[in-house]
Each structure stands twice: as structure tokens, then as C-alpha cells.
Amino acid sequence: MTATAGRDRPSGTTARTVAQAKVNLFLRVLAREASGYHQLETLFCRLELGDDVVVRVGVDGRSLDCAGDVIPPEGLGPTQRNLAWRAAVAYADATGWPNDWAIEIAKRIPVGGGLGGGSADAGAVLRCLNRLAPSPLSDDALIALAAPLGADVPFLATRDPMALAWGRGERLLALPPLPERAITLVCFPFGVSTPDAYGWLDEIAPRPRAARLSVDALSTWVGVARVAHNDFEAAVAPRYREIERALEELRAHAVRVHDATSVTMLAGSGATVFSICDTGPQAMTAVHGMSLRLAHTRTASRVVAVEVSD
């Protein structure tokens, strides 16, 4: 397919960035809509860990090259199911540009663990295309374009390291970044089905009550630690002894090292468990011979900028 004359940048125009992972430091699942979707209230925090994303325009055809594990949703072919690909299609459909592109992704974010890897890639593609576009979209328009792709994508299409989000993730309030801290990720060789997690959560009545959020309280790690909460834990952890054990061990470790501002929770709907603690554990006890991997990174105080080259 040939690009429309005068619309694309010169051949070889390239944008690259890091699609940073995220954790939810607060996640409350609200009422289920008639459509089946649930409203959310959440506090997003980006991590330094991320996938490398490169987007080229002014090329012949459309392509996606992804190195590493990818778990696309059911229903379409492997490429068309990839969120990064769908983001590029959405941008092209909405703006009429570009006709063609080449996307390259080097995966580093653990897949299927609630860290937003696929959503981060989609957000990075949107940011890259908008940086290259002859007529870039406004920030609000880019968020609106990202919303149908998933509840995490709007935040991950912004340049904000922290934000509160409501609804389906499209209502965002950027917050000043907190000081960077060490974070340990406990990664399992399995994922948790998000639809299943929502179904299990709907079975819990009444749900545990979460603290009310105050923007002022989120200006320090002490304040975040006081309100840290994830509704999915009550539904998911009892069904996976491995997850339950990881939460117990990480919380016990924070007590042993006297870190009163530690935050240990399930990441999204799971299966990854994370602990923000200034002295992270170097080993964990596996359950029933289950293999698990510890990944060490930091929370992010900035979002990696999009770099452009010809």
C-alpha cells in the first residue's frame, strides 16, 4: 500500500521510546454497567521497566515485529490482535495518516501479569505516531482515541508518571511524581484471566471497603501506603496459593526491615505481585515446586520521551 502523497513524512522517519510498565497503587472496581463493563477508580504509577518500541513511517506496507512473549486477545490473527497494531490502526482510521508503518517491539515487561505490557506498547505507538504526525492530535484527543483499546491505555498514552483515573480509564488527573523507589516484582509462569477475575469479584458481597482517596494524601509515599488497596486481591488470591503466599512473604519482609511506607499488592487482576520496599527481598519461597522469578526495578518519576530521527 502506498502512502498518500503529501501526508506522510519522508521515508525513514522513525520514532522510538520505552513503553513503561505500570502498577495500580489503588484499584477500586465500581458498579457493573449494563454493557458488562465495570467502572474503575485507580491510582496509576509508571515503572522504569519497559519494552523498547520503534515506529517507522514512510515505508511500504504495514508490519509488526515483536521479539518476546505476546498474549493477544482471542478472535483475530496474531498481528491484528496485538494492541500495538490496533493502536496504529485506530490512529490511522481517526486521522487518515499514516497509510503504512513498521512497528518493532522488544518485550521486557512480563506478559499477562497485570503490569500493562500490551497497553504500554499501545500507548507508546500512539505517542510515537503523534510525534511524527504532520498534524498531531491534542492530548485530550489522544486519550479519547486510546480509551476503546483498554482501561490502561489512556494513562499509558500520556506523559505523566502518576495519575488518578476514573470510569474506563479515560478520565485522568495527573499527579506530581513521587520520589523513585525500589520495587520487586514476583512473576509466575501463569496469568490470571481478567474476565474471570471480574466474575469472581462480582461474587463477593459485600466487598471489603477501601479508604477514600484524597489528592493531598497522595503527595507522599506515607500517604499512598495508608490508602493502598486492590479490590481484586480478595477475589484472586484465595484461588491461587502461589499468589497468596507471595503476598504474605513480601508483607512479612517489609515488617522485618521496618519499612512503614512499603506497598505490597497484586498487580491489576494478577498474576504478578509487587512490593515497593526500600530493601527488597532477593529470594522467595516457591509453593508446590512452582517456578517463580523476581524482577527488580524502580518506580518512575518521569516518562521516557519519544525520540525522532530520519
Regarding whether 195 and 94 lie in a shared domain, the answer is no
Reply yes or no on whether 152 is catalytic: yes
Query: b/e string for 84-96 if b means 16 or more Cβ within 10 A?
Result: bbbbbebbbeebe
Q: pLDDT of 259-279, one tens digit each?
A: 989 999 999 998 999 999 988
Regarding whether 63 and 131 lie in a shared domain, the answer is yes
Are the C-beta atoms of residues 131 and 93 closer than 8 Å to each other? no
- Report d(CA 140, CA 100) in Å as an integer: 24
Structural domain boundaries enclosing 63: 14-177
118 is written with which cell numbers? 500490551
Regarding whether 257 and 141 lie in a shared domain, the answer is no
Among 151, 177, 203, where does a domain finish?
177
Regarding whether 188 and 130 lie in a shared domain, the answer is no
- Total count of domains within the chain: 2
Regarding whether 294 and 147 lie in a shared domain, the answer is no
Out of 121, 152, 160, 259, pick the active-site residue.
152
Among 139, 158, 177, where does a domain finish?
177
- Give domain status of residue 200, yes or no: yes
Out of 8, 22, 107, 231, pick the active-site residue.
22
Regarding whether 23 and 115 lie in a shared domain, the answer is yes
Regarding whether 167 and 73 lie in a shared domain, the answer is yes
**What pTM value is reported for the model?**
0.89
Regarding whether 263 and 139 lie in a shared domain, the answer is no
For position 291, what pLDDT does the model report? 74
Mean pLDDT of the region 280-302: 82
Are the C-beta atoms of residues 173 and 164 closer than 8 Å to each other? yes
Q: pLDDT of 33-85, one tens digit each?
A: 767 678 899 999 999 999 999 999 999 999 999 887 654 444 334 566 789 99
**Residue 1 pLDDT greater than 90, yes or no:** no
Cα–Cα distance list, 64 to 16, 33, 236, 302 (Å)? 14, 35, 33, 27
3-state DSSP helix/strand/coil % of the chain, to nearest 5: 30, 30, 40
Reply yes or no on whether 107 is catalytic: no
Among 149, 177, 205, where does a domain finish?
177
Regarding whether 128 and 269 lie in a shared domain, the answer is no
